[in-house]
Amino acid sequence: MFGRGADAPRAYDERGGLPTNPQAGTKSRGSGSKAAARGGATPGAGAPRGGSGAPRRPRRPRAGAWADALLLLAIALVTALAFWPALRGGFTNWDDPGYVTENYLVRDLSARGLERLFGSFVKGNYHPLTMLSLALDYHFWGLRPLGYHLTSVVLHLLTTLGVFCLVRLLAGSRALATFVALFFGIHPLHVESVAWISGRKDVLFAAFYVAAGCTYLLWLRTARASLYVGTLVLFGLSLLAKATAVTFPVALLLFDFGLRRRTAAARAVVEKLPFFALALAFGIVAVAAQKAGGALQGAPPYSSLERLLVACRNLDLYLLRSVLPVGLSALYPYPPGGALPASWLAAPFLAGALAVAAYVLGRRSRGVLVGAGFFLVNIALVLQLFPVGGAIMADRYAYLPYVGVALALGESWRMAAGPFRSGAARALGAGLLALALVALVGATRSRCQVWGSSDRLWSDVLRHYPEAGIAYRSRAEAESETGRLDESADDLERALALDPGDAAALADRGGLRLASGQYERALADLDLSIRLDGRSAAAHNSRGAAYLRLGRLAQALADFDTALRLNDALPGAYANRGSVLYRLRQLPRALADYDRYLALDPGSALVHYWRGLVWAEVGDPVRAVADFDAAIRLDPSLAYAYRERARAHA
């Protein structure tokens, strides 16, 4: 399957092997070739075969090219069938507010907006290309989730087709490329990356990563400088989509190994230096972003040995779920109490056994070693050997690494099926693969429905992990948004019973009490929440709103100032501070805050109404009428806007 001594193979053998041509891409030694001795011309030299000046006949597409095209079409259709239910999903409250629905960075595609977008960390990450893709979705679709899901599904389709091309170029086998692409395209563990709008970074970075791998392999065949530069550019775009792409230079070394490139070590290193330099730079930025977002906190303080157990256990589970995708969840919390189960002591031994199996199989086929290496290189950063965040693992982490798993499995299947060449054995093998295909498509479609709404998502998490306080809190947020306040309050009480120090749950309960007029009880919750985590702009904004309703204007103003210092794109804090300043008769400052709110969210009838009141008081009835007009246009039932507009007209 994989090359044998080729430095720069030009074309793969249709029977499945790469050519043995140590001098590929270089001139042949000397000029006395056999063709010249016979008096013939070397291929490609001199006049075309049709005679001097004779026009060349257009080449007909080879049968192999048609077969590849038909396979790509079939793979795309099967993958689209598997992920079709994702198009019916909505936004969830699992990071989607921070990325889209409440992130006003994506609403401004002006030069200043793009500057802010490329200069900001979002949710502990620096991925401006991902944010740009979401901003383009917002530009065309607003807050209609269909457009966002459609973009993600299309990106996944493109990545899947790219995986086919990558394996076709690397191994030369159409059958292996089809197996790997289908495995990647329809696997249920990929639902999180595709059906979750906040998972955009995974499908986007992987699309550029795989494309860069293809251009690199083409560069090896042709030695065209444009392909080398294209590979570097695509790698940079992948890094701008997600910093996890830093593994790409190591993947290039794996490709070299699989192709058995006979090139000097110094040359191999020099040609990859720009890739390693880019990876290092983005790695430093990624660590800074994680620190700024607090993502390096939240994991239990495990010892080095315990972290090794966690990493081995995660490695085992990712491999197990590649062939048996059961027990999937949007959240995998750390064990309650932080103590690791005794059964996890077996994880390093199982990981070692899998490594030995890969080595033994790899002695027969480099494809197994390349696949295993690709998986390990791309999964190593997220095995929680160096803990990041409060989850022990995540389905999305397996998105790109499963290309390697599929490659290793496909090569292993080929070797196992080799001795059984009878028609019956082949039919049995094809039948088993077809059953697996149908089962995976069904599991993926079912999993897409789980990601369709916040309610279903968190109820599914609680089915697996009934002691996950964050799941109760997140489901409570969803219930509150749909007006089910009693159910929301019950879930918040469950979350706080599991973790009385959950600052976010306390802030949410304070918000519920604020909405029901229990201002003093709301203040008690919000005070405690802020003492536990003073970095929450939303908690400061809610406490300021409680102070405002109690008439404690100085304290309210201080909280709104703090909220906007923590998050200068929080429109509610501008509106609330404007109300305080209006009451304090600081009318120019109130106008400025209402202006900032409406720059972020021009669709608020109430804020237009409030700004109209200020314009009327500062003696500008024309602007007051314009704001009252806007308020009435946005909400025709806003009765007092008609009254104030009449006064302004008068």
What pTM does this model have?
0.86
pLDDT score of 117 more than 60: yes
pLDDT score of 328 more than 80: yes
Residue with the larger pLDDT of the pair 222 and 426: 222
Q: Kindly report, residue by residue over 202-243, the tens digit of the pLDDT.
A: 999 999 999 999 999 999 999 899 999 999 999 999 999 999
pLDDT score of 522 more than 60: yes
pLDDT score of 53 more than 70: no
What is the rounded CA–CA span in Å between residue 136 and residue 168?
A: 33
pLDDT score of 34 more than 70: no
- Ordered DSSP codes for 28-94: PSSS--HHHHTTPPPTTSSS-TT-TTPPPPPPPPPHHHHHHHHHHHHHHHHHHHHHGGGGG----SS
What is the rounded CA–CA span in Å between residue 193 and residue 403?
A: 14
What is the rounded CA–CA span in Å between residue 437 and residue 431?
A: 10
- pLDDT band for position 302 (cuts 50, 70, 90): confident
Provide the pLDDT for residue 289. 85
Measured CA to CA in angstroms, residue 570 lies from 119, 562, 565, 566 at distances of: 18, 11, 10, 9
Percent of the chain, pLDDT > 90? 70
pLDDT score of 299 more than 90: no
Provide the pLDDT for residue 470. 93
R_g over Cα of the chain: 30
| Rama region for 30: left / alpha / beta (φ>0; ψ in -120 to 50; rest) | left
- pLDDT band for position 63 (cuts 50, 70, 90): low
Residue with the larger pLDDT of the pair 263 and 271: 271
- Taking residues 440-446, report their average pLDDT: 96
- Taking residues 504-530, report their average pLDDT: 95
Provide the pLDDT for residue 471. 95
69-73, 267-271, 479-483, 537-541: lowest mean pLDDT where? 267-271
- Taking residues 612-627, report their average pLDDT: 93
Provide the pLDDT for residue 390. 78
pLDDT score of 292 more than 60: yes
Cα angle 30-32-34, degrees, rounded to a multiple of 5: 125
Q: Kindly report, residue by residue over 309-323, the tens digit of the pLDDT.
A: 999 999 999 999 999
Please answer whether residues 272 and 236 qualify as being in contact, where contact means their C-beta atoms are separated by less than 8 angstroms. Answer: no
What number of CA atoms fall less than 13 Å from residue 552's CA on the CB side?
14
Provide the pLDDT for residue 251. 96
- pLDDT band for position 47 (cuts 50, 70, 90): very low
11-15, 483-487, 637-641: lowest mean pLDDT where? 11-15
pLDDT score of 26 more than 90: no
Provide the pLDDT for residue 389. 74
59-68, 217-226, 277-286, 325-334: lowest mean pLDDT where? 59-68
Q: Kindly report, residue by residue over 455-511, the tens digit of the pLDDT.
A: 999 999 999 999 999 999 999 999 998 889 999 999 999 999 999 999 999 999 999
- pLDDT band for position 19 (cuts 50, 70, 90): very low
- Taking residues 409-423, report their average pLDDT: 76
- pLDDT band for position 1 (cuts 50, 70, 90): low
- Taking residues 108-136, report their average pLDDT: 91
318-332, 424-438, 534-548: lowest mean pLDDT where? 424-438
What is the rounded CA–CA span in Å between residue 57 and residue 47?
A: 14
Arithmetic mean of pLDDT over the chain = 87
- pLDDT band for position 176 (cuts 50, 70, 90): very high
pLDDT score of 344 more than 80: yes
Backbone angles phi, psi at 268, to 5 degrees: -60, -40
Closest by CA position to 410, among listed 378, 451, 450, 368: 368
Max CA separation in the chain (angstroms)? 105
pLDDT score of 59 more than 60: no
Provide the pLDDT for residue 282. 93
Provide the pLDDT for residue 297. 62
- pLDDT band for position 295 (cuts 50, 70, 90): low
